[in-house]
Amino acid sequence: MSFKVSLTALLIAFPFAAVLGFVLSFWRFPGHWFVVTLNNTMLAIPTVVIGLILVLLLSRSGPFGDLRLLFTQPAMIIGQILICFPLLVAMMHMAYQGVSRHAWETARSLGCSRLKALWLITLEVRFAVLAALVTAFGRVIAEVGCAMMVGGNIAGYTRTITTSIALETTKGEYVQGIALGIVLLVLALVLNLLVGVTRGRSIQGASQ
Amino acid sequence: MSFKVSLTALLIAFPFAAVLGFVLSFWRFPGHWFVVTLNNTMLAIPTVVIGLILVLLLSRSGPFGDLRLLFTQPAMIIGQILICFPLLVAMMHMAYQGVSRHAWETARSLGCSRLKALWLITLEVRFAVLAALVTAFGRVIAEVGCAMMVGGNIAGYTRTITTSIALETTKGEYVQGIALGIVLLVLALVLNLLVGVTRGRSIQGASQ
Amino acid sequence: MVAENLEKRFGRTRLWHIDRLELKAGETVHLRGENGSGKTTLLKILAGLQSPENGSVLINNARVKLGEKVCYLHQQPYMFDRSVKGNLALVLSARRESAKVKQQQLEDALHWSGLEKQADQLARTLSGGERQALAMARARLCQPSFWLLDEPTASLDEKGVTKCVELVKTLRESGAAILLTTHQQGELTQICDHTWWMKDGRLVTD
Amino acid sequence: MVAENLEKRFGRTRLWHIDRLELKAGETVHLRGENGSGKTTLLKILAGLQSPENGSVLINNARVKLGEKVCYLHQQPYMFDRSVKGNLALVLSARRESAKVKQQQLEDALHWSGLEKQADQLARTLSGGERQALAMARARLCQPSFWLLDEPTASLDEKGVTKCVELVKTLRESGAAILLTTHQQGELTQICDHTWWMKDGRLVTD
Amino acid sequence: AQANTMLRLATTTSTYNSGLLDYLLPIYQEQTGVQIQVISVGTGAALRLGQDGDVDLVMTHAPEAEAAFVEAGHGVLPRTLMYNDFMIVGPESDPASLGSAQNVLDAFAQIAQSGAIFVSRGDESGTHIKELELWALANQSLPFDGYRSVGQGMGRVLSLADEMEGYTLTDRGTWLAMKSRLDSTLLFEGDEQLFNPYQVILVNPERHPHTLYDAAKAFADWLVSTEGQDLIDSFQVEGEQLFFASAED
Ligand SMILES: Nc1ncnc2c1ncn2[C@@H]1O[C@H](COP(=O)(O)OP(=O)(O)OP(=O)(O)O)[C@@H](O)[C@H]1O
Ligand SMILES: Nc1ncnc2c1ncn2[C@@H]1O[C@H](COP(=O)(O)OP(=O)(O)OP(=O)(O)O)[C@@H](O)[C@H]1O
Ligand SMILES: [Mg+2]
Ligand SMILES: [Mg+2]
Report the Cα D38 to chain-centroid distance in Å.
15
Q: CB-based contact (8 Å) between B171 and chain A?
A: no
Task: Find chain B residues with C-beta within 8 A of A207's C-beta.
Answer: 97-98, 100-101
Q: Do chains C and E touch (3 or more CB pairs under 8 A)?
A: no
Q: State the Cα angle at B150 between E149 and A164, rounded to 5°.
A: 20
CA distance D54 to E229: 88
Domains in chain C and their CATH numbers?
A: 2-79+127-205 (3.40.50.300)
Q: Global pTM? A: 0.87
Tell me, what's the pLDDT at B20?
94
Would the CA dihedral through D74, D75, D77, D78 be positive or negative?
Answer: negative
Does residue E29 register a pLDDT over 50? yes
Report residue A18: phi and psi, to 5°.
-65, -45
Among the listed residues E13, E133, E16, the one whose alpha carbon sits nearest the alpha carbon of residue E64? E133
CB neighbours of B194 closer than 8 A, spacing ≥ 6? none
Does residue D144 register a pLDDT over 90? no
CA distance D192 to D178: 9
Q: Which long-range contacts (CB under 8 A, 24 or more apart) does B33-38 make?
A: B33/A196, B33/A199, B33/A203, B33/A204, B36/A196, B36/A203, B36/B93, B37/A189, B37/A192, B37/A193, B37/A196
Does residue A177 register a pLDDT over 60? yes
* For the CA of D130, the nearest atom of ligand 1: 26
CA distance A115 to D202: 47
Judged by average pLDDT, the poorest of A64-68, A148-152, D23-27 is A64-68
CA distance A104 to C50: 12
> At D64, which amino acid appears?
V
Judged by average pLDDT, the poorest of C119-123, D154-158, E13-17 is E13-17
Tell me, what's the pLDDT at E136?
92
Give the minimum alpha-carbon distance from A113 to chain C in angstroms, rounded to a whole number: 8
Q: The domain spanning residue A110 has which CATH number?
A: 1.10.3720.10
* pLDDT tens-digit series, residues C28-79: 999 999 999 999 999 999 988 888 888 888 888 887 766 667 889 998 899 9
Average pLDDT score over residue span B160-179: 81
CA distance C77 to E25: 74
CA distance E57 to C129: 78
Average pLDDT score over residue span E139-153: 86
Bigger pLDDT: C200 or A2? C200
> At A166, which amino acid appears?
A
CB within 8 Å: B70 and E54:
yes
Judged by average pLDDT, the poorest of B147-156, D2-11, D182-191 is B147-156
Tell me, what's the pLDDT at A15?
94
Kindly give the distance from the C-alpha atom of residue A102 to the centroid of ligand 3, in angstroms, as a whole number. 14
Tell me, what's the pLDDT at A157?
77
Tell me, what's the pLDDT at D68?
67
pLDDT band at A205 (very low <50, low <70, confident <90, very high): very low
Query: How is A155-180 classified by DSSP, letter by letter?
Result: TTTT--HHHHHHHHHHHT-HHHHHHH
ipTM: 0.85
CA distance A163 to A160: 5
| Percent of chain B predicted with pLDDT > 90 | 19
Tell me, what's the pLDDT at A1?
63
Tell me, what's the pLDDT at B11?
94
Q: Taking CA atoms, what residue in B is nearest to D83? A: B202
CA distance B147 to E14: 20
Task: Find chain E residues with C-beta within 8 A of A171's C-beta.
Answer: 42, 44-45, 123-124
Write down the mean pLDDT value for chain C: 89
Q: Do chains E and D touch (3 or more CB pairs under 8 A)?
A: no
Would the CA dihedral through E28, E33, E39, E42 be positive or negative?
Answer: negative
CA distance A18 to A24: 10
* pLDDT tens-digit series, residues A7-63: 999 999 999 999 999 999 888 888 888 888 889 888 888 888 888 888 888 887 778
* pLDDT tens-digit series, residues D69-113: 788 999 889 999 889 999 999 888 877 788 899 999 999 999 999
Tell me, what's the pLDDT at C68?
67
* For the CA of D118, the nearest atom of ligand 1: 31
Question: Looking at chain E, which subunits does it touch, using at least 3 CB pairs closer than 8 Å as the criterion?
Answer: A, B
Tell me, what's the pLDDT at A130?
87
CB within 8 Å: A43 and B138:
yes
Domain that holds residue A191: 2-207
Does residue B148 register a pLDDT over 90? no
Does residue B185 register a pLDDT over 90? no
Helix (H) or strand (E) holding C41: helix C39-47
For B112, D15, E19, E124, E232, the CA distances from E61, given in Å and listed in that order, are 67, 80, 16, 11, 16
Q: Which of B70, B97, B102 to probe the A interface (max A CBs under 10 A)?
A: B97
Domain count, chain B: 1
Q: CB-based contact (8 Å) between D81 and chain B?
A: yes
Continuous H helices in E72-181:
104-114, 126-137, 154-164, 172-178
